[in-house]
Structure 1
């Protein structure tokens, strides 16, 4: 038989089908992939505190809403303001949807500012959804005699903090630069729990963390007068703290005010769950829809309410857009933020 171009194409097609057939046979549905698996929830914080509590609550319930109902185990990976966890998820963890994470909400902006030790692009993560926004507060022991933010502009206040990339350090540092406060940050504490113990031991005057962390770890401090709240970091006053000024209320320079608003965009990222870059689209979609369903699960809601944790959700798609917007700030605005951003 004469070998023609048609014969060549036919042979190539048969070969292609033969090669593709085993792969088609091995293709898995999302349910088949997740069935019987154990996933990891990497938490960029030490045990204790609201970030850990939120991440563990998601780990406890998300699998119930994923096809295949996999188990999810929490893995604490603190360090570098959660950069250790973020770099792990981006560069070491499998890109198959078996590793989730909760990291510092400031990291997308940190990346734009050129912070050291960031080996990823935040927009490359697949953002699954947000459980709650992230109002932060700075507070001190009432015994210090520092009662208001104006007092902190006159008196040095020692704050126990973790790493420079965490909001516990970023927000007070920015306040020093823009509002003239005298916060002295002592870094190296593993998390909010250890920082609060440092306050009780007299090693520090105060701490800066999320309001949710205070409500979770020391709810008695909200009512017994043990601490004074000096400032809250959000665009609006939180209902629990109607008499405590926001950071934006204390900034008068227009350029600084614009920079502070950009910085407080981390409040919008909040307590968010993500997975690695490169995860197949069908698994990302399944994770996002399972996350949405979990937010309406009475058992999940009850677990958060028991710990006095708020729910103010955002979908994975909207969260992905918020993170992408962090890269759209003007060079002039980024330069101003960078000038006040802690990097050591």
Structure 2
């Protein structure tokens, strides 16, 4: 895996790569549906001359769509038979509408789906619009995404530990107290930070602008956004990174490999207090990391799809990571290896197939009590 400094360089190069391939092998909604699958055990014969329908349940140009488009060319190369792939954007409801559509498709092995962490929260917290069950889907690959918190120099914070001692106002800007914001706000609460929350921003990009203008003094971004937009601020002394969200490895919370010098939130708490945080809050935080960072985006195929197709897709995502051409794609996705095989299946089972209802209930009650948020509404 590349180092963070190299990732910053590759991320900029990868954005140019993606811009250049945005329309290659891709057609939007309304295009011809995939042709009928073939009855064969030969993956090359199964895919040759076929067109794969890839449903992206978010708008064109968004984070999930951009990730899918980055993967399409190299996936085509590594699938036997080199089939065409067409992206179909079906946006709405945090990915729910497009996923509902996917759930109605034939299990032909020629239709796949990419969901996001916002879709995970919609399912887990009971969004009434959900008309599907993850147990009817088989995971193909996962795209993890880290997250990093940083503060403005005006806070007087110079390193992670000094964050916990600051008396300067901490102002956090967010879209809504749910979805991708949830691990950030729970992490700040876990650390005992005194934070004023300002909700209603239209995007994380808008929050970045507010941070640059001094309206927001503590913020968090995904690794890809951080490397592209925040790392230059850090280099100029206009932002100070303080901790990462972290990742789950089995039952353990570990440091983000993109920022190995930064503690994750729980580690920072331990450094300050010498003990672990409140057990209920700790387990809730770890679960949010699992569904929001480890499983930031997932690729699925319908249960019942021909085994030849399922195995070919899974093997293609394993093989492509050995391809030197994957380096630019990896960096465009934040610099992380794809989640495949046993690790993917384990995370999906723990988070989505058989989620811990007691933790989900705790999070729903916490969000309602602390922020007046109904997590079933995103």
Whether TM-score is above 0.5 comes out as yes
Which category of TM-score, normalised to the shorter sequence, fits these structures? 0.7 to 0.9
1:1-344 equivalences under 5 Å are 27=39, 30-34=43-47, 35-40=49-54, 42=56, 44=58, 47=61, 51-75=64-88, 79-91=92-104, 95-105=107-117, 107-108=119-120, 111-131=123-143, 133-142=144-153, 149-150=163-164, 155-161=169-175, 166-167=179-180, 169-175=181-187, 177-181=189-193, 182=195, 184-187=197-200, 189-190=202-203, 192-197=204-209, 199-200=211-212, 207-216=219-228, 219-234=231-246, 235-242=253-260, 244-249=262-267, 250=269, 252-266=277-291, 267-305=293-331, 307=332, 309-326=334-351, 327-328=353-354, 330-341=356-367, 342=373, 343=375, 344=377
Distance 2:71 2:142 in 1: 11
Q: Which runs of 5+ in 2 are unaligned?
A: 1-36, 247-252, 270-275, 368-372
1:153 Cα deviation from its structure 2 partner? 8.3
CA root-mean-square deviation: 3.7
Report the 3-state secondary structure (helix = DSSP H, G, I; strand = E; otherwise coil) of the residue aligned with 2:254: coil
1:144 Cα deviation from its structure 2 partner? 6.7
> Between Structure 1 and Structure 2, whose CA radius of gyration is higher?
1
Distance 1:211 1:226 in 2: 18
Q: Compute the TM-score of the two structures, normalised by the length of structure 1.
A: 0.73
C-alpha spacing 1:156/1:75, structure 2 compared with 1 (3 Å): farther
1:257 Cα deviation from its structure 2 partner? 1.5
Q: Which runs of 5+ in 1 are unaligned?
A: 1-24
Q: Which moved more, 1:246-255 or 1:142-151?
A: 142-151
Question: How many residue pairs are counted as aligned between the two chains?
Answer: 313
Contact 2:58 2:90 in 1 (8 A): yes
Distance 1:104 1:153 in 2: 36
Q: Compute the TM-score of the two structures, normalised by the length of structure 2.
A: 0.67
